[in-house]
Amino acid sequence: TYVINYRVGSCTAAIVFADSSQKETNLFRSYTLSGLQPFTFYKVWVQAVNKEESSTLTSESSNVEAFTTLTDAPSQPQHLQYVNPQSTSVRLQWHPPLHLNGAITKYNIMLANGRFVNPQTHSSKSLAVSMTVDGNITNTTVINLT
């Protein structure tokens, strides 16, 4: 039996892994940790356990391995607002997504003339503006509206 320990931030979790394939001592054992969060730094280490009738004997911890999970799509930007609309321009501002899941590299901004724009396909017959701003910007002015 093995205990797989992992840490994210100040929280530590442990998974007990019973391996019944222990025929040779030089084979690697493997276990897939699932349910991890995207773009998150983890530390992991393993302990071997021998469980006898009335006692449990646990090894010293293995070396600690550290890794960061891959990025994923962010959640939606929060609190979109328009500020001071003019006859041909409007200022937009928003908060970054709650779950960045990586580094935000850009924001796509779509403005339609009274019709809903599908955010996945960007399809609308009355799309007035489609633009991109840098990922560290959370406001912009849309100009030349007609």
Tens-place pLDDT, residues 60-80: 899 999 999 999 999 999 999
The structure tokens listed for 41 are 């730094």
pTM of the predicted protein model? 0.70
Number of alpha carbons in the 13 Å side-chain half-sphere of residue 128: 14
Rounded Cα distance, 87 and 51, in Å: 76
Q: Which of 54-58, 76-80, 112-116, 117-121 has the highest mean pLDDT?
A: 76-80
The structure tokens listed for 131 are 């633009």
The structure tokens listed for 2 are 């093995």
Whole-number Cα distances in Å, 133 to 28, 33, 95, 105, 142: 48, 36, 14, 9, 11
3-class state of residue 1 by DSSP: coil
Q: What amino acid is encoded at 131 in this protein?
A: M
Are the C-beta atoms of 91 and 103 separated by less than 8 Å? no
The pLDDT, as a whole number, for residue 137 is: 95
Are the C-beta atoms of 117 and 110 separated by less than 8 Å? yes
Rounded Cα distance, 96 and 132, in Å: 15
**Nearest CA to 128 among 143, 118, 113?**
113
The pLDDT, as a whole number, for residue 25 is: 57
**Nearest CA to 123 among 135, 110, 104?**
110
Torsion (CA) 14, 20, 25, 27 in degrees, nearest 10: -80
